[in-house]
């Protein structure tokens, strides 16, 4: 078990585009394991590799239905819209409402290199979009429609 440091906003790495994973080797598998441990330790619902300082297109998510590991994910379908409040482990204490699709389908590789698809609605759809944005150097606060004081809600 290894907890990695979470990079905070202000670090340039969060603005960079992550690279495709061409080979799922030991380093990639170790990264996935560490990202899982780091996600659970932090209490978040999603974590993208650039948030632990690695510019690879890798994401881990758990919205309460078990761990999802995504390698080279891309959104292949989306529809509808929702306006939920988001936060980010890299921007502590900041919350805001963001427009996202109500439903997305993501295609990705699992840790065996097999191509899979997963549909997400509600929080999972938000999470897919938020974490995939990280892989393109986009932070959620750039998209916020209305910042929210979570303490008061």
Residue in 88, 104, 126, 129 binding Ni ion, rule: CB under 5 A: 88
CB of 38 to Ni ion, least distance (A): 13
Residue whose CB is less far from Ni ion, 21 or 60: 60
Environment class of 68 (CB within 10 Å of its CB; exposed 0-12, middle 13-18, buried 19+): buried
Distance (Å, rounded) from C-alpha 132 to C-alpha 123? 14
Stretch near Ni ion under the rule CB under 5 A, chosen from 10-18, 69-77, 83-91, 96-104 = 83-91
Annotation marks residue 116 as catalytic:
no
CB of 88 to Ni ion, least distance (A): 3
15: its two tokens: 């603005």
Distance (Å, rounded) from C-alpha 32 to C-alpha 55? 13
Q: Which of 56, 127, 57, 48 is nearest to 90 (CA)?
A: 48
69-95 burial, b at 16+ Cβ within 10 Å, e below that, comes to bbbbbeeeebeeebeeebbbbbbeebb
Stretch near Ni ion under the rule CB under 5 A, chosen from 17-25, 68-76, 87-95, 104-112 = 87-95
Stretch near Ni ion under the rule CB under 5 A, chosen from 62-70, 72-80, 81-89, 113-121 = 81-89
Residue whose CB is less far from Ni ion, 88 or 132: 88
Which residue in the list 23, 131, 142, 151 is annotated as catalytic? 131
Hey, which residues are catalytic here?
131
Binding site for Ni ion (CB under 5 A): 88
């Amino acid at each position: 078990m290894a907890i990695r440091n979470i990079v905070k906003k202000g670090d340039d790495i969060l603005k960079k585009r992550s690279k495709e994973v061409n080979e799922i080797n030991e380093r990639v598998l170790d990264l996935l394991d560490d990202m899982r441990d780091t996600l659970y330790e932090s209490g978040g619902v999603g974590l993208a590799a650039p948030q632990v300082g690695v510019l690879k297109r890798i994401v881990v998510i758990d919205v309460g239905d078990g761990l999802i590991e995504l390698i080279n994910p891309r959104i292949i379908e989306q529809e509808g819209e929702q306006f939920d409040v988001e936060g980010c482990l890299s921007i502590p204490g900041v919350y805001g409402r963001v427009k996202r699709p109500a439903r997305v389908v993501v295609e990705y590789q699992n840790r065996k290199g097999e191509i899979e698809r997963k549909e997400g609605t509600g929080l999972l759809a938000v999470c897919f979009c938020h974490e995939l944005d990280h892989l393109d150097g986009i932070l959620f606060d750039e998209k916020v429609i209305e910042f929210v004081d979570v303490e008061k809600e």
